[in-house]
Chains A and B, each alone.
Chain A
Amino acid sequence: MSGAIVGVDVGGTFTDLFLFDPATARFQTAKVPSQRGDEASGFLAGLRALGGAAGMAAVVHGTTVGTNALLERKGAKLGVITTAGFRDVLEMRRRDRRHTWGLWGDFQPIADRDLRLEVPERCLAVGSIHTPVDIAAVEAAARQLLAAGAEACAIIFINAYANPGNEQAAEEAVRRIWPNPYVSVSSEILPEIREFERASTTALNAYLQPLVAGYLGKLEGALSHEGFGGRFHIVQSNGGIMSTATARRFPARTALSGPAAGVIAAGAIAKAAGFSHVITCDLGGTSFDVSLIADGQMELAAQATIDFGLVIRSPMIEITTIGAGGGSIAAVDRGGLLQVGPESAGSRPGPVCYGQGNDRPTLTDANLVLGRINAARPIGGALTSLDVAAAKAAIEKHVGAALGLDAMSAAEAILRVANAKMAGAIRLVSIERGLDPARFVALPFGGGGALHVGALLTEVGLKAALVPRFPGVTSALGCIIADVRHDQVRTLNLDLDSLDPTALDAHLVREASTAVAVVRDAGLPVEAIETLFTLDMHYAGQTHTVAVPLPVTVAGNSTGVTRDIVRKAFEAAYQRAFSRLLPGLPVRIVSLRSAAIGRRPAFDLAALAPGPDASLEKATRGARHVWFDGAWHEARIYARLELPVGAEIPGPAILEQPDATVVVDPGLVARVDRFGNLIIERA
């Protein structure tokens, strides 16, 4: 077992693990129940199921501890020290409201107003210090926060992006007094213009620090107790991995750790299978998450809103979420229109067929009534069977009666509306951005996505669907594939016309060397470290910017950047985003984003392929009636994992495996590729 790398994805219901031993090219998976609130115990139980942590070379972890703490408001008691006159920035937000229409609802900031203290200090937009920071006032504030029970501290000064001097002096003073390392400083967390976004990101980072550090400490303690002597890493929202030391400094970067790992694996699986344009689809209990990979590259969003008023600004895998999951409730609204979601029965009480008390029909109930899900073999193994009659009665009563349809037609209508919503989400990330869906494959992961890919192919006009061999452990697989990555941003505010290329070059070199150092210090073997530079630019006067990838790299001690390189790159990027250039207007560079990426050794996914003893005969499990397009059809049933490479299964057919059900609609055909993936295309 020596030298094995293990990916661990702790989800809400299960903890999934994927072990790979590069020496023997052997892999192993495990699935154990998760314990909400005690994620570490599932984590360790999973490692034990794989033979124990001793001797493993590395453990890479995708975690939802940070996400859940944010959504449930379970972070630390937070104190804020800020510029005189500005303690309410966090609470005033950008003067927005929850919904466009309707004025109800209030907002609770993550730091109470009496734990946000002001000190005399002021920096101006040009970076000059107007008022030096009053250190005695900072010390008094820190003591007052501690006395009030604050567990973490955020230091957020106005214009600190332009000059971090006052913040750094304050940090030094606070750290002398503060009894723990949980101090986050805005000019370190996000040295970028826009005070609310910087304040929110910094505060949320501090808010998560004690919890994430405690969680990591607990895992590290347990790992070392089990004799683990390897490296332990965390997946970030940007799809790269980081050391636990970096995770303790930047816990806000774990907000989308879990889903990001899944997208990474999806990208690698698709690339190996020969597809560079992919839309990943993760159908969970309450939501459907899609993410785009174009030309083999994941899309990163600059920021994410975790909940109303809680913004984290740091590069994150762009995930579009709509409220349509297996537990989404189907209902007919007062205008007579059938709606599926966003209201959800979740996993508890769950769909009607779970028999746990919900009587309103869900998408899962419709799939069951239509024969697409096997009532005798529920996914995940928590239940022994599903109640078809109850599901059918609920659909008849709540949907059929209102629309004048019988139960089967009503179930099919629920499926169509849900498919249309999912198709809408896919369209949003593809067609609506001008990308031709005929070039993309859908890659479903998680348990439910593969039930719907057929409809998505037809509805959106996608090229094909690619169902990974183990859809349920995609995120765990992603943990062991992901590159090491570190992102940085710095606001520059420079005019292009008067740009001094040497000064810009110095910025690039400096940013690159810090980012590369973080990646190198993570200590995982990487084949090479690349740096990527992006400038946020606009015409002077605009407030939004376009991201301008800069086609330069550091060689020797310079990038060779010139004004002309920057201008050409800007004009190309601007024209891609909008139809019209504005010749003659001055152009500005607002911020510089730098990323260092440590490329991990390639992982040969052929290790996952079915063995030579697999055969179509062994995989055959008979047939059952499944409802497609208004009528029952006889669909052949197969044990998916027992299908050999090259097998071709025409629809209608159902392919079952412990963690997923794949539906091959009539008119489609599924083929097993050399990695054991299923490729579903039009026949």
Chain B
Amino acid sequence: MNEASPARLDAVTLAVLKGRLEQIADEMDATLYRSAFNPIIAEARDACHGVYDAITGDTLVQGTKGLPIFVGAMSFAVRSVIRKVAAEGGLQEGDTFLFNDPYDGGTHLNDFRLVRPIFRAGKLFCWVASVGHWLDIGGNVPGNYNPRATESHQEGVRFPPVKLIRAGQMQQDILDILAANSRVPQSNWGDLNGQLNALDLGEKRLIELLDDYGDARIAAAFAQLADRAEALMRAEIAALPDGRYSFDDFLDNDGVKDEALRIALDLTIAGDRLTLDMSRSSPSCAGPLNISIATTVAACYVALKHAFPDVPANAGVLRPVEVIAPPTTLLGAEAPRPVAGYTETILRLIGVIFGALGKARPATATAAPFGTINALALSGQRENGTRWVMFSFFGGGLGGNPATDGLHHANNPISTATIPPVEILEAAYPVMFTQWALRPDSGGAGEHRGGVGAIYEIEALAPGRTEVALLGERGRFAPFGVAGGASGALNRFTWGSAGDTPPMASKIVGVSIAQGECVRLETPGGGGWGDPAARPQHAIARDIRLGYVSAEAAARDYKGRGQ
């Protein structure tokens, strides 16, 4: 936005333009969901689109349905393209960059970003970008969630920003390299086309809007919307009592070394400024639980958006916020530290932000959600010899809060993903679910109980071996309660007739089951809110009647009230 801004837009025009711009991003999201191939995008909506500043890469507009974690991360992606162009030059109208580099504005290798410049009168005006989670991009483990990786190269293939489309010309070489490096090249090709569909549409709509209102007015709207988000964010922070609030939580292990990893936060409020200091966290780890600084900032943004849902989604939100995560910690990892399990680490990070904010404003304290993605890959060979990979994330309970009990079987705060239907999975893969149920006694006790997690039990139907890989968490450190509420249950995974359990709690790779054998995943519920002694007797009785809480657990956690 390097041209002189006209006079401030009036509040009404600004509101109109805000709606038009959000609609553009929403429509890009919808286009990709509907045309994507892999269910992680199509059903789980692991994707995001937006419009970004020409010079800074700041997020100007974001869809309302995009994956929350990408909302903060995308501006880092655009920035890395900006850096590349600054260094090498040669940006042309009709270019589109592609990359997945986690250390240069990415998250993990599966997340492919496409970044396209929008030119006006021969000059760069802004960027549009798309990110989506592709099913497989090489590496040791189908689906790339390799819990034993010790360097990025074992996780899959890394692309720095490259021109996929050069002045309107698709670069077949790059398509060929992409196809050669995946177990499921058709799926990736389909998703890539879906992302291009979304960029084409976004570009078209944005140009129409610029033609309608003029470039200068749209530029002014971008600036004012960010200012407004900043003002709202500052007002929210200023409303909190000044002070330093600390909160720590732990990851089970990094999948390689069986040692707990500390995620530590010192949150400081000073007037209308907020500092999130993670310096006390564990050092970078050997296994794939590291995250880059871009991902850390994005996770902070997600937590703040949940805590202050009325603040609009753009870069203005982060102006009054300082994030400190030294590169020596696992929250500021640099290449080639493995990062495939980034989802687990950011969930814990978001959890400690909720925890610290709960100390700052007890009236809105919310207990921890289940906090693990449980990336489960089942794979094998069909009778005709072709490879199949069923990859999915699973749900759990949300935390109790001042208003309500936690929601049963929800998605994680980093996503708005819906789970693929059992019937779609069974139609696509040689598996049969034998249980798809709520998990009793998994929600933390409290005046407002945590929502319960789930039990998924899956039987292998394929005649050969079915390979099993899981990257999960919360096997040793349960989702915490707040204001006197108890913790939710631990994550639990077993496989085979003997009911084997992973030596590293919820991470396993390199095992398999025979036809007729099962894997069984029991996910955590959320933590409880408030003293269990204050839970009304009728609510406990109802929990027992409906089986959310067993009579035995009620006797223990609620001192037998409700029986």
Q: Which residues of A contact B (CB under 8 A)?
A: 85-89, 91-107, 112-114, 122, 124-125, 130, 158-159, 161, 193-197, 333-339, 403, 413, 416-417, 420-421, 423-424, 427-428, 431-432, 493, 539, 541-544, 546, 577-580, 582, 585
Task: Give the residues in chain A near B147, CB-CB below 8 Å.
Answer: none
Asked if B422 CB lies within 8 Å of chain A CBs, one says yes
Q: Is the interface of A mostly helix, strand, loop or mixed?
A: loop
Which residue on chain A has the smallest CB distance to residue B395?
A95
Q: Which of A93, A106, A334, A544 contacts B34 (CB 8 A)?
A: A544
B12, B43, B187, B395 — which one has the most chain A CB atoms within 10 A of its CB?
B12
Is the CB–CB distance between B410 and A85 below 8 Å?
Answer: no
The CA-CA distance from A663 to B519 in the complex, in Å, is 67
6 contacting pairs across A/B (C-beta < 8 A): A95-B419, A335-B228, A417-B12, A544-B42, A546-B34, A577-B34
Q: Which residue of A lies closest to B26 (CB)?
A: A432
A152 → chain B, closest Cβ, in Å? Answer: 19
Q: Which residues of A contact B417 (CB under 8 A)?
A: 95
List 8 additional contacts besides A96-B418, A106-B405; criterion CB under 8 Å: A85-B436, A95-B417, A104-B401, A130-B432, A334-B232, A338-B12, A539-B37, A578-B194
Among the interface residues A99, A334, A338, A542, which one has the most CB atoms of the partner chain B within 10 A? A542
Q: Within the assembled complex, what's the spacing in Å between the Cα atoms of A542 and B186?
A: 11
Given contacts A85-B436, A417-B12, A420-B19, contact A161 B423 (CB under 8 A): yes
Q: By the criterion CB–CB under 8 Å, are A580 and B12 in contact?
A: no
Pick the residue among A88, A335, A579 that contacts B436 (CB under 8 A): A88
Q: Is the CB of B423 within 8 A of A125?
A: yes
Specify which of B34, B42, B306 is in contact with A101 (CB 8 Å cutoff).
Answer: B306
A-B interface, 4 closest residue pairs, ranked by CB to CB distance from nearest: A95-B395, A94-B418, A101-B309, A95-B419
Query: Which residues does chain B contribute within 8 Å of A339, judged by CB atoms?
Result: 15
- Residues on A with beta carbons closer than 8 Å to the beta carbon of B68: 100-101
Chain B 73-100 interface mask (CB, 8 Å, partner A; 1/0): 0000000000000000000000000000
- Could you tell me if A103 and B398 are in contact, using CB atoms closer than 8 angstroms? yes
Chain B residues with CB below 8 A from A335, complex form? 228-229, 231-232, 235
In the bound assembly, the distance between CA atoms of A197 and B420 in angstroms comes to: 12
Closest to A159 in B: B423
- Distance in angstroms from B100 CB to nearest chain A CB is 20
Residues of B within 8 A of A (CB): 11-12, 14-16, 19-20, 23, 27, 31, 33-39, 42-43, 64-65, 68, 186-187, 189-190, 193-194, 196-197, 200-201, 205, 208, 228-229, 231-232, 235, 305-306, 309-310, 366, 369, 394-395, 398-399, 401-411, 413, 416-424, 426-427, 432-438, 451, 454, 457, 545-548
Q: Which of A94, A420, A582 contacts B419 (CB 8 A)?
A: A94
A107 touches B426 (CB 8 A): no
A546 to B: closest C-beta gap in Å: 8
A87 vs B438: C-alpha distance in the bound complex, in angstroms? 9
Residue on B nearest A118 in the bound complex, by CB: B437
Cross-chain contact of B407 among A107, A333, A585 (Cβ < 8 A): A107
The interface residues of chain B lying within 8 Å CB-to-CB of A91 are: 408-409, 438
Contact across chains for B424 and A193 when beta carbons are under 8 A apart = yes
A193 to B433, CA, bound (A): 15
A104 x B403 contact (CB < 8 A): yes
A207 to chain B, nearest CB (A): 18
B423 touches A194 (CB 8 A): yes
A124 / chain B contacts, CB cutoff of 8 Å: 426, 432
Other-chain contact of A338, B15, B33, B194, B418 (Cβ < 8 Å): B15
The residues of A that contact B232 with a CB separation of less than 8 Å are 334-335
Report B530 CB to chain A, min CB distance, Å.
Answer: 14
Chain A residues with CB under 8 A of B37:
539, 541-542
Q: Do A102 and B309 form a contact, CB below 8 Å, given A97-B407, A195-B423?
A: yes
Asked if residues B193 and A193 are in contact (CB atoms below 8 Å), the reply is no
A427–B423 touching, CB < 8 Å: no
Q: Which of B16, B433, B546 contacts A114 (CB 8 A)?
A: B546
B271 to chain A, nearest CB (A): 17
A403-B11 contact in complex given A85-B436, A101-B68, C-beta closer than 8 Å: yes
Quick one: which of B42, B369, B405, B416 contacts A96, CB cutoff 8 A? Answer: B416
In whole angstroms, how far apart are the Cα atoms of A544 and B194 in the complex? Answer: 12
Which of the residues B190, B228, B423 comes within 8 Å of A582, measured between beta carbons?
Answer: B190
- Beyond A86-B436, A336-B228, A421-B19, whether A100 also contacts B416 by CB under 8 A is yes
Within 8 Å CB of B205, what residues of A? Answer: 432
Q: Which residues of A sit under 8 angstroms from B39, Cβ to Cβ?
A: 543
Which of A103, A420, A539 contacts B190, CB < 8 Å? Answer: A539
Please state if A103 and B369 are interface contacts (CB–CB under 8 Å): yes
Which partner residue on chain B sits nearest A546 by CB separation? Answer: B34
Instruction: Please determine whether B31 and A578 come into contact, CB atoms closer than 8 angstroms.
Output: yes
